[in-house]
Amino acid sequence: MTAVQATAEVFLTALQALPKKEREAVLAGIADDQNFRENLLDLALIAERRNEPSRPFDEYLAEKDK
């Protein structure tokens, strides 16, 4: 486990240990922050599409220019 993963695990464990109302307040604060919200949406999209097939960017560009 990397230092980044360990730090994330500590924060997630602490968040999960909070009572429901406090956990909801923390999550609402994250959702209210535009930068955090955008990051969460990006991460959710990546997770949702993780198993989709991919192709090289050069191939996409060549097809796009046709």
Name the residue with tokens 């050069």.
Answer: 58
What lies within 8 Å, CB to CB, of 1 at 6+ separation is 9
How confident is the model at residue 66, as a pLDDT? 72
Distances (CA, A) of 20 to 23, 25, 27, 55, 66: 5, 9, 10, 42, 54
Answer yes or no: is pLDDT of 2 > 90: yes
Q: Residue 49: is its pLDDT beyond 80? A: yes
**pLDDT of res. 7:** 97
The whole-chain average pLDDT of the chain stands at: 94
